[in-house]
Structure 1
Amino acid sequence: MVPIIKKSDEKALSELMESIPSSGRTKELGVLQSELRRAKIVADNKISEKVIQLGSSFEIIDIASGRRLQFTLTFPKNANLAEQKLSILSPLGVALIGFQEGKVIEWNLPAGTRKFKIEKVSQSESILSL
């Protein structure tokens, strides 16, 4: 499966990655760069509201445990798990951006390979700045 990324998110993510000094570069940053290279980039008005984008709220199910998780995908400076705000530079954030409701994603996370089903996606907030 190829992630679908809207043009404004691609631009914002590219700017975010360029702003991180080499001393702050993580594995997830490299994976996000790879995902952006293989992604299908579409005009902002051509992306489905059912695709996880920056600012999307979504519910996923961990297939192995059946556990439901709800998050809003955001920039690192706004991330706060207590508020269910997930950083785009987290392993799960990188795994989910660009995929749509109903899809099952398998991804290598720090705790091992996991499968998640994207149950619901909604566009809840606009994120314009790093």
Structure 2
Amino acid sequence: MKPIISNTDYRAIYSLIQDLPASQRTKEMGQMQNEIESATKVPDGGLEAGIIRINSYFEVMDLDSGKTFQLRLVMPKMANLAEQKISILSPLGVALIGFGEGMLVDWVLPGGPKRLKILKVDNSPQVSKF
């Protein structure tokens, strides 16, 4: 299963990774680069409503623990866990970008392998009402 991303998100993420000095590149950046290179790219406005992209609000469930998380996927400078904003370059951000509501995603996070289910995705411009 390949992620689906917009051309704008592809360019933003690609530029972000390329602009960082090699000393600041993490394993997750390499994974993100692989994800976006293998992703299906679509014209802006061509993504289905329920696909996670930059600035998406989403709810995801860890199927092993049953815990759910409501988060927003943002550029690294806007990330703030206290505000439930995670970076697109975080392990969870890399795992979920380009996938949509109802999908199951298997990914190795810092806490070990996880099986995640995307419950909801909100891409409306106003504040999410989850």
Change (3 A) 1:17 1:125: farther
User: What's the offset of the Cα at 1:125?
Assistant: 4.3
Please, what TM-score do these two structures have when normalized by structure 2?
Answer: 0.94
Tell me the secondary structure at the aligned position of residue 100 of structure 2.
Answer: coil
Summarize the alignment of residues 14-25 of structure 1 with structure 2, pairs less than 5 Å apart: 14-25=14-25
Distance 2:49 2:21 in 1: 33
User: What's the offset of the Cα at 1:18?
Assistant: 1.2
AA aligned to 1:104 is L
Distance 1:49 1:72 in 2: 15
1:42-94 Cα distance to aligned partner (Å, 9 max, x none): 01121111000000000000101110101000011000011000100100000
Tell me the secondary structure at the aligned position of residue 31 of structure 1.
Answer: helix
Matched residue, 2:118: 118
When the two chains are superposed, the root-mean-square deviation of aligned CA atoms in Å is: 1.1
- Contact map agreement 1:56 1:125 (CA 8 A) in 2: no
Tell me the secondary structure at the aligned position of residue 46 of structure 1.
Answer: coil
AA aligned to 1:66 is G
The total of aligned residue pairs comes to 126
Summarize the alignment of residues 5-84 of structure 1 with structure 2, pairs less than 5 Å apart: 5-84=5-84
Distance 1:125 1:16 in 2: 23
Change (3 A) 1:125 1:14: farther
* % identity of equivalent residues: 48
Matched residue, 2:107: 107
User: What's the offset of the Cα at 1:41?
Assistant: 0.2
Where do 5+ consecutive residues of structure 2 fail to align? none
